[in-house]
Amino acid sequence: VYENYPSTRRVTHPSVLDFVDELVKAGSKPKKILKYLQETTGKRVILRDVHNLVHRLKVKRRGTDTVEERLEAVLRKFYASRGNNASIFVDETKTTQTITMQTRQMGRFFEAFPEVVILDSTHGTNSSKYKLFSFMIDDAFGHGQYVQHALVENESHACMMNAIGAFKKKNPTSDRIRAIMIDKDFGEMSLLKRSFH
Cα Rg of the chain (Å, integer): 23
* C-alpha 191, offset from chain centre: 26
Position 64 scores a pLDDT of: 66
Kindly state the DSSP code that residue 173 receives in the 8-state scheme: G
Q: Which amino acid is at 134?
A: S
CA distance 197 to 193: 5
Regarding whether 136 and 107 lie in a shared domain, the answer is yes
**pLDDT higher than threshold 70 for residue 40:** yes
Helix, strand, coil proportions of the chain in percent (round to 5)?
50, 20, 30
Regarding whether 100 and 42 lie in a shared domain, the answer is no
Domain boundary among 26, 45, 62: 62
% of residues, the chain, pLDDT over 90: 56
Regarding whether 179 and 112 lie in a shared domain, the answer is yes
Regarding whether 133 and 175 lie in a shared domain, the answer is yes
Regarding whether 91 and 19 lie in a shared domain, the answer is no
* Contacts (Cβ under 8 Å, ≥6 apart) of 52: none
**Whole-number Cα distances in Å, 156 to 17, 161, 191:** 45, 9, 10
Nearest-10 crossing angle of helices 30-41, 47-62? 100
Regarding whether 32 and 126 lie in a shared domain, the answer is no
Regarding whether 154 and 90 lie in a shared domain, the answer is yes
% of residues, the chain, pLDDT over 70: 96
Please report the beta strands in the chain, taking only residues with DSSP state E, as ranges in sequence order. 85-90, 96-102, 116-122, 131-138, 144-152, 179-181
Say how many domains are in the chain: 2
Regarding whether 159 and 109 lie in a shared domain, the answer is yes
Cβ atoms within 10 Å of 107's Cβ, excluding its own: 19
- Domain hosting residue 117, numbered range: 67-195
Higher pLDDT, 197 or 50: 50
DSSP-based three-state secondary structure for 138 = strand
Higher pLDDT, 3 or 145: 145
